[in-house]
């Protein structure tokens, strides 16, 4: 299989952009930019996302079953870049507070899903997390989109 072409083909699938966050064992906040987020089930309410097995953030998500998925708006492209970089103080930008369910939440996100991990499975070089939604908020802000390695804005309704 031609890996480069596969990557190109997969990149044509357009996604939203989220920051998935939690609190690690020492109380430190952990989070990263994630586009593998997806809705899974309404009854019961389940979502999924996947994390690179080599991620330094893995220990925090293994320690704490509570996490939050913060869906980014088009004005939050800087946050997406920051949480995908090696920046040491990722939470130093944006209005972050500790949510009622034990994970950091972004105040002006398009949507926030506060979750509890109910299942994990390793698949290839990633760990798949399935979480039950405990609480959510949403706003009608325009979302940030990601396609083929570039950020995009939402186009017209067709
Ligand atoms: C738009 C976008 C989507 C991403 N989606 C994921 C993802 O779903 N899972 C993942 O493990 N990394 C994803 N990444 C990469 C991580 O955000 C990046 O490697 C980050 O530095 C990981 O944090 P860590 O160093 O704490 O592991 C994505 C990056 C970008 C820019």
pLDDT in tens, 25-84: 999 999 999 999 999 999 999 999 999 999 999 999 999 999 999 999 999 999 999 999
pLDDT in tens, 91-124: 999 999 999 999 999 999 999 999 999 999 999 9
**What is the C-alpha separation between 145 and 135, in angstroms, rounded?**
24
Distances from the Cα of 83 to the Cα of 75, 89, 123, 156, angstroms: 15, 9, 23, 28
- Pocket residue to mutate for ligand 1, from 33, 125, 151, most atoms within 8 A of Cβ: 33
The predicted structure's pLDDT at residue 104: 98
Contact 98, 49 (CB under 8 A): no
- Pocket residue to mutate for ligand 1, from 84, 104, 125, 128, most atoms within 8 A of Cβ: 84
Quick one: average pLDDT of 14-27? 98
- Pocket residue to mutate for ligand 1, from 35, 67, 88, 89, most atoms within 8 A of Cβ: 35
Ligand 1 pocket check for 55: Cβ under 6 Å: yes
**What is the C-alpha separation between 22 and 63, in angstroms, rounded?**
9
Q: Which atom of ligand 1 is nearest to the CA of 51?
A: 11
Ligand 1 pocket check for 35: Cβ under 6 Å: yes
Q: Is 117 helix (H, G, I), strand (E, B) or coil?
A: strand
The predicted structure's pLDDT at residue 132: 98
Ligand 1 pocket check for 18: Cβ under 6 Å: no
How many whole angstroms from 79 Cα to the centroid of ligand 1?
Answer: 12
The predicted structure's pLDDT at residue 80: 98
Ligand 1 pocket check for 77: Cβ under 6 Å: no
Contact 47, 58 (CB under 8 A): no
Q: How confident is the model at residue 156 (pLDDT cuts 50, 70, 90)?
A: very high
How many whole angstroms from 33 Cα to the centroid of ligand 1?
Answer: 5
CB burial of residue 62 (10 Å; 0-12, 13-18, 19+)? middle
């Amino acid at each position: 299989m031609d890996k480069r072409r596969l990557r190109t083909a997969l990149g044509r699938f357009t996604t939203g952009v989220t920051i998935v966050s939690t609190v690690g064992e020492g109380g430190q906040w952990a989070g990263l930019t994630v586009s593998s987020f997806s809705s899974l089930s309404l009854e019961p309410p389940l979502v999924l996302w996947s994390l690179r097995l080599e991620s330094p953030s893995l220990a925090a998500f293994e320690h704490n079953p509570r996490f939050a998925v913060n869906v980014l708006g088009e004005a939050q492209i800087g946050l997406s870049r920051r949480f995908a970089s090696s920046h040491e103080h990722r939470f130093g930008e944006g209005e972050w507070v500790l949510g009622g369910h034990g994970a950091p939440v972004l105040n002006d996100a398009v949507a926030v899903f506060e979750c509890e991990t109910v299942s994990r499975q390793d698949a290839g070089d990633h760990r798949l997390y399935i979480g039950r939604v405990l609480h959510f908020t949403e706003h009608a802000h325009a979302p940030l989109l990601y396609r083929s390695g570039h950020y995009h804005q939402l186009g017209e309704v067709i």
